[in-house]
A = this chain, B = another copy of it.
Amino acid sequence: MATQKDFDKKEAIFAATLELVSKHGFHSSPMSEVAKQANVAAGTIYHYFKSKDDLICALYVRLKEKTTETLLKQDDANKHYRERIRSFYLQNFRYFTQNPKEFYFLEQFSNSPFIQAIPRQDLQRLDQPIYDFLRKAVFMQAVRDIPPKIMISMLLGSVGSLVKLQLSGDFQLTSSDIEQAFFACWDGIKRQ
């Protein structure tokens, strides 16, 4: 079926882009290489994406959606907020250490001028689910009344740093290290 084939090609292009960009960076990932890796012709990419920038931005959005969904899917509203946030933190660490390509791509992208090409409201939409999750925690008085944006920044900044540390190969983090790191964060944001 054509639709399935389209899907496959688009997927293949995304996968190839992720592979190459995460390893070599944006400008060392020519479209011709992406095409080769995806087993399509160079021109074919332009049936699915307007330009290289468009492809990269689309991949960013896609990965953001996917990771956010994955990370919140396992949330269990019946548990205590501490447990839910702990689980979110740990999942985050696990997900990215197990999917380093996605981590590298997202970090690279969000620290590059590329990100300015994404409309602000789209960026907001991508963060919305996590944002909602934490705002509710504040509302439920599970955590201190810190603006959710700050809280996200702190949590994700912390976990992101740890992922980077782990992936650098300089340092093997044990699960106790992660727990410890989480509780350090938690002690910082929990309602005393």
Q: Which A residues form the contact surface with B (CB < 8 A)?
A: 23-28, 104, 107-108, 111-114, 120, 144, 146-147, 149-150, 153-154, 156-162, 164-165, 170-171, 173, 177, 180-181, 183-189
Contacts and interface: CB of A to CB of B under 8 A. Distances in A.
Contacts of A158: 153-154, 157-158
Given A150-B181, A156-B161, 5 more contacts: A108-B112, A111-B111, A150-B173, A153-B165, A187-B187
Contacts of A161: 153-154, 156-157, 160
Minimum-distance CB pairs A-B, first 10 = A184-B188, A157-B161, A153-B161, A27-B27, A157-B157, A188-B188, A25-B113, A107-B111, A111-B111, A187-B187
A24 B115 CA distance: 11
A111 B160 CA distance: 11
Contacts of A188: 183-188
Given A23-B113, A25-B112, A153 B164 contact: yes
Contacts of A173: 150
A26 B114 CA distance: 11
Given A25-B113, A149-B171, A170-B149, A181 B154 contact: yes
B184 A146 contact: yes
A171 B123 CA distance: 14
A61 to B, nearest CB: 18
Contact of A150 (B25, B113, B177): B177
A88 to B, nearest CB: 16
A154 B184 contact: yes
A162 B155 CA distance: 11
